[in-house]
Amino acid sequence: MMDANKQTPKHPWDESIRTILFALLLAVCFRSVAFEPFHIPSGSMKSTLLVGDYLFVSKYTYGYSRYSFPFGLPIFHGRVMELRHPQRGDVVVFRPPGLPNTDFIKRIMGLPGDKLQMKDGILYINDKPLARKQVDDFTDAEDMANIHPVEQFVETLPEGKTHMVLREPSHALVQEGIDPNNTPVYTVPPDHYFMMGDNRDNSGDSRFPSPVGYVPEENIVGRAELIFFSTDGTAQLDNPVSWFRAMRFNRFFDLIH
């Protein structure tokens, strides 16, 4: 006769599957409410961010929107639990209206109601030019066969915050008939932001209506906080030493400004 209090032995795989599912749930929750890792695949934010940088983006800083969670499901609209609104100068990850399933990373340059315009490579915000000071050239070594210096400037925002921008007009990205260095006046709509790359002549951003244009606040995923790992892309799978040489240790744990 079977003992009614005796439990059927569990298969060893049951516990393993539960452990894996629990770990996945914790990872999804952490990525959704705290920090999410991102990889930089393009050079639009040089010299602040380089191809091969890996960084953490905080999800809680601006509160949460549908894009804070996997797949961007429309479970609600707007933002909830906001600690603060996005600020000019913040580097943010967002989903552009024209590509809502793709992550972009740029710097917020225009706030709701602002007027922005590029004139001869100088950015004007609300009819006032931003102060710029030229510093040592940035050496662009992404393409090892075409290493070249690029003019670099310290740009000062109206609030006093500074950041680096690159100037390479001979390589200016022209889209939809818009010269990125001489643009029309842009007036940022309510609850929207104007995004720009620090690599000014090589950035598809809010200066072009498609796919970025004005970015709704709801489409902002989070604020870029910290570079936790960086590699120059020269590592070879069959050469462990090359992985060590490819690491850019001087960028590890750099705060993003």
Higher pLDDT, 239 or 102: 102
Q: How confident is the model at residue 34 (pLDDT cuts 50, 70, 90)?
A: low
Express each pLDDT in 96-118 by its tens digit: 999 999 999 999 999 999 999 99
Residues 11 and 19: their CA atoms lie apart, in Å, by 14
Q: Domains plus CATH for the chain?
A: 27-255 (2.10.109.10)
201, pLDDT greater than 90? yes
Judge contact between 212 and 203, C-beta under 8 A: no
Express each pLDDT in 151-186 by its tens digit: 999 999 999 999 999 999 988 888 888 999 999 999
Backbone angles phi, psi at 50, to 5 degrees: -115, 155
Q: What is the pLDDT of residue 82?
A: 83
**Is residue 125 within a helix (H) or strand (E), and if so which, with residue range?**
strand 122-125
Q: What is the pLDDT of residue 208?
A: 96
150, pLDDT greater than 70? yes
Q: How confident is the model at residue 1 (pLDDT cuts 50, 70, 90)?
A: very low
Catalytic residues: 44, 106
- The span from the first CA to the last CA of the chain, in angstroms, equals 72
Residues 61 and 226: their CA atoms lie apart, in Å, by 14
Q: How confident is the model at residue 47 (pLDDT cuts 50, 70, 90)?
A: very high
Quick one: how many helices (H) and strands (E) in the chain? 2, 15
Q: What is the pLDDT of residue 183?
A: 96
Residues 172 and 169: their CA atoms lie apart, in Å, by 5
Query: Which of the residue ranges 11-20, 167-176, 202-211 would you say has the lowest mean pLDDT?
Result: 11-20
pTM of the model: 0.85
CA torsion 233-227-202-41 (nearest 10°) is 40
